[in-house]
Structure 1
């Protein structure tokens, strides 16, 4: 379908809404009628030629065969499709025989709808079409709508036909239906000040994806092919993939059977997809409705090929309860095994942040890949994503873990950057991810990045946000660069040194995208002193300091004896100060245990204050010993947490203080050898890993760490952490060390990093000349305006 034909059809359908439904529906609700009627007329027009044959088969089953239940196979054979209608009506006949009675027409239309096969009835139910039929009949517009949809001047079938004047009416393919659907949704929602629909995938993007998926193995396609889309929308990706490998005009024309599978959460798009599956003769039962993330609909099923444009930037918060139980991931699709820094296998979660679930759809497809022992050619995936899938999430996050799993298992073949404004309802930069679990030898251990962001041609008229497209030669060029694993440098203008439109491609090792996130620690250095002010701070829980301090200052020791009676004024103060307490904090605040626990800490600190005085200690290690001795003298035995709370209250970081010792180690020769092997270092280098020689052979000190001074370094997987530390950290912070136990591995992919071309700044003299020239021009304009010339 050409752009002109598309716009003409959309305008005609929109005019139906405007002419017939004005004042009956608000404009934003036109879709509730128009979309199901488009689908209904599409199915109806296909059944018209075989109507007599179906009725003859029905008569045969009733009268001659004496069937008490219909033989669906006979009715499907008579209709020529996997659906049928056993009522005496067609939409054209309903219109031609209609009287002035809308009630009779309503009854006839409902009889017509009830005559459909069960698979079409489900579509009708999803659209809630019967309710709309009743509403239109009550408002006396049902006949007008039928007249419009049975017009011989529109063609909603996938076959070309002529209008009464002999002009050709182009066929409406599944993809064309998708375009019409998307444009109507956009217009309906604009009228209702709502956001447009999901990102419909343009024809040329689907064509590119099918070439990228099928071309590399077109000579070795399996005899039976299954194609899956976990976010199938109106089904364009599936049917175009089928056309690509099966139709006479398709690019491959394979002889094997093709079976399509998909799932869609939106009832309207699901109904459109299912109707087109039936029109194409595919099994509509393979298209399921519902959330792909909530339910593993095709659990245990694997597919040869998967193509999808999943929703991005869309929250999956409502589906979390099906994927996670609290913090634990319970859906096996989103749990993966990775190696930690030391080479130990660990099961980690593969779930991104709840605000964007696009990578979950990718993991769903990875979960459905055919193992090589089932299919020697494995599975191939093409999935469209926005930029966040490339780099969002730090090392150890769900997003990074997913990228890491794909790359370390050598599943990622290539990523292609697409131009901006290529999609119907979004102008953001998008990318096609290509995955395979059967890489050819030249691709093993490699990832190809292709920048096709400057490869496009402009549209004469925008389609929503879409203002450009791939021409056939662009698709051919991208496919060639991919299939031949080419390296292509970006061409630049020799004079301006700016990048020229075109394609660029680079080949990377898998490890190029990985990095170690290394934790760099520094020792804790504390001073300590008992003072009345520091001790008083212990009276209040850290989470409730402001409120508890006010209450104690206002009511004194009553907070320990009459707390319940003080509830009203305390909460009134909290409300006045807009503290917005949670129920948990309210309960904690009114608990006598909370106040008593803090008072006991104050009393403990006061005993120690009386014993040790207000001396300032610059060596916290000595201070701790004196506190321990004082506790022994006072015969006090506080818990470890109580003692820690007091010590924290009276100490603070000071760069001039002594380092705080966490532990002293006495290593045997065997233990020392094990430690050196563990860190792969020499004995004098143990200091770089947090073990400091104490002066005696085999004795080492381990210091407490200062969290506020903790730092992180990203080190390439191709570089040794210790070497990086010696060159980039140790010269600047000699007392720092590496905490290897906290090392995480992350992966990210940055197209800007790999394809950015620096444009040199213009010469200052050239810029000055231009400024002076512009000043002269502006002075001349001002003179003309003021008639001073």
Structure 2
């Protein structure tokens, strides 16, 4: 039994082993703080390893005079590190009482020497955090063990995997109401496989820690595309998350324009003139008070539409993305289900978008996909050109059907597998099935012909959608055979909760009335 237990322990994935080693040292620091400690140290280890490797190459080439020339490192996409920013220096000083200050200085000096990293690394963070020197030193010792990973043939990809794994684990630990910096990889993979960002400009208006960009590049590589044919543009409002994105992309070797600083996409648009070929996004759900009543009322992003209401930013995000699409641009983004059927101004905007033939597909997703919320959400696909056309992608000529006026509805609520006890994630087969269905619907000469499938998918005409009040709730269109799925269960749940609250209120009032009767008779009774 002991041997089996030992084998089981050794079989743990490498990322999980490293996570447990680092997380054991967290102590009293909250996950929201601790993630910046761990992830920036991983970055320092990564940068230090490649600096030393490049340094030895320069010496081996007989160019010792240039061993401290920033250009000789930048030419190989390696960050130049001043002596006090090198991992060896930090490791040697890991047990010193001022190690926190030394880490702060290391990060600051790296930023000064490397323009791509300006604004990317924590600023005077470790000293202000109050982490015990002994624990910080132990953490440095643990991360020092990454040498074997970095020295392997695919070391860069592995350290990227570790970084990504840590991001997801921190998001899970922070739980509901937090963790918005991370979109679960399973959702990003679904978007990438559907919209296929092979080449061109990719934009994310609320990029978090950069996961959309990482998975886009993985998609390009897995389909034997050329990363150099893709350029990345993003924006992030939260300063600490902006830094996470910069580090994440630096570790992956992804050059990106995220603007010079963290900024609000609505009030300080860093890419106002951008026309993107692909947009991938997971905006904050149902964001309230995103603008003042008299602010952005005539913004050019709403041209042709009503101004989105201050009470909910969902359609503000949608119209921002619509304004950024190129003539053949495609967007895939996540929104809370309420946007599918909201009335008033939002309903008017949705109707206009459908009349303008922008909406291509609506995919309703299962609950519990996100670590920060358990609400049901939807993947929207917008397409600026749904008419028949041909494009060349990765050397292949693709011909698209003319789907003018049609929208493909897909229901994924019965898909997915359990993950981390209380969450759900899609399997590779789930993603392939949905992407294949979407592409068969889109393309001429597809490997399989498209057909509506009960309880899974339906291609609705403009007239059908108009007849249903321009609602985009999938269950209004998809046929359900053995159960009543014509109900929007999120709305119905709210109705039932309201009814229950009303029943409880009436019961409380009845109890109070009974008590008053007994009191009037001179009885002291509690119910």
Whether the 8 Å CA contact 2:217–2:227 is kept in 1: the answer is no
1:225 to 200, 204, 220: 200
User: Equivalent residue for 2:41?
Assistant: 37
Separation (CA, whole Å) in 1 of partners of 2:427 and 2:164: 20
User: Equivalent residue for 1:487?
Assistant: 451
Separation (CA, whole Å) in 2 of partners of 1:402 and 1:83: 47
Pair 31,108 (structure 1): closer, same or farther in 2 beyond 3 Å: closer
| 2:95 is aligned with 1:120 | no
Q: CA deviation at 1:140?
A: 5.2
Pair 142,198 (structure 1): closer, same or farther in 2 beyond 3 Å: closer
Whether the 8 Å CA contact 2:170–2:179 is kept in 1: the answer is no
Separation (CA, whole Å) in 2 of partners of 1:76 and 1:210: 30
Q: After superposition, where does 1:678-757 map in structure 2 within 5 Å?
A: 716=467, 747-755=470-478, 757=480
User: Equivalent residue for 2:51?
Assistant: 47
Pair 149,384 (structure 1): closer, same or farther in 2 beyond 3 Å: same
Pair 113,274 (structure 1): closer, same or farther in 2 beyond 3 Å: closer
| 2:189 is aligned with 1:207 | yes
Q: After superposition, where does 1:208-607 map in structure 2 within 5 Å?
A: 208-214=190-196, 225-245=200-220, 247=221, 250-254=222-226, 257-286=229-258, 289-315=262-288, 317=289, 319-321=290-292, 325=294, 329-337=297-305, 348-349=306-307, 351-354=308-311, 356-371=312-327, 378-394=328-344, 397=345, 399-441=346-388, 442-456=402-416, 458-459=417-418, 462-463=419-420, 465-467=422-424, 469-485=425-441, 486-490=450-454, 504-514=456-466
Whether the 8 Å CA contact 1:227–1:304 is kept in 2: the answer is yes
Aligned positions, number: 448
Whether the 8 Å CA contact 1:199–1:423 is kept in 2: the answer is no
For each residue in 1:107-151, what CA deviation from the matched residue of structure 2 results, as whole angstroms up to 9, or x when unmatched? Answer: 654553343124435222xx33x3414665885544333223323
Whether the 8 Å CA contact 1:200–1:425 is kept in 2: the answer is no
User: Equivalent residue for 2:502?
Assistant: none
Whether the 8 Å CA contact 1:55–1:86 is kept in 2: the answer is no
Pair 336,54 (structure 1): closer, same or farther in 2 beyond 3 Å: farther
TM-score relative to the length of structure 2: 0.74
Separation (CA, whole Å) in 2 of partners of 1:73 and 1:277: 20
| Structure 1 counterpart SS, 2:304 | strand
Separation (CA, whole Å) in 2 of partners of 1:365 and 1:81: 32
Whether the 8 Å CA contact 1:418–1:432 is kept in 2: the answer is yes
Separation (CA, whole Å) in 1 of partners of 2:309 and 2:135: 49
Which runs of 5 or more structure 2 residues have no equivalent in the other structure?
Answer: 1-10, 389-401, 442-449, 485-527
> Which one has the largest radius of gyration?
1
Which runs of 5 or more structure 1 residues have no equivalent in the other structure?
Answer: 63-69, 162-168, 216-220, 338-347, 372-377, 491-502, 515-715, 718-745, 762-789
Separation (CA, whole Å) in 2 of partners of 1:465 and 1:435: 31
For each residue in 1:174-213, what CA deviation from the matched residue of structure 2 results, as whole angstroms up to 9, or x when unmatched? Answer: 6x634422322442x46xxx73311733323222211211
User: Equivalent residue for 1:701?
Assistant: none
Whether the 8 Å CA contact 1:418–1:451 is kept in 2: the answer is yes
Pair 352,512 (structure 1): closer, same or farther in 2 beyond 3 Å: farther
Whether the 8 Å CA contact 2:160–2:252 is kept in 1: the answer is no
C-alpha RMSD of the superposition: 3.6
Separation (CA, whole Å) in 2 of partners of 1:74 and 1:760: 66
Whether the 8 Å CA contact 1:450–1:504 is kept in 2: the answer is yes
| Structure 2 counterpart SS, 1:85 | coil
Q: CA deviation at 1:271?
A: 1.4
Separation (CA, whole Å) in 2 of partners of 1:752 and 1:4: 40
Pair 134,508 (structure 1): closer, same or farther in 2 beyond 3 Å: closer
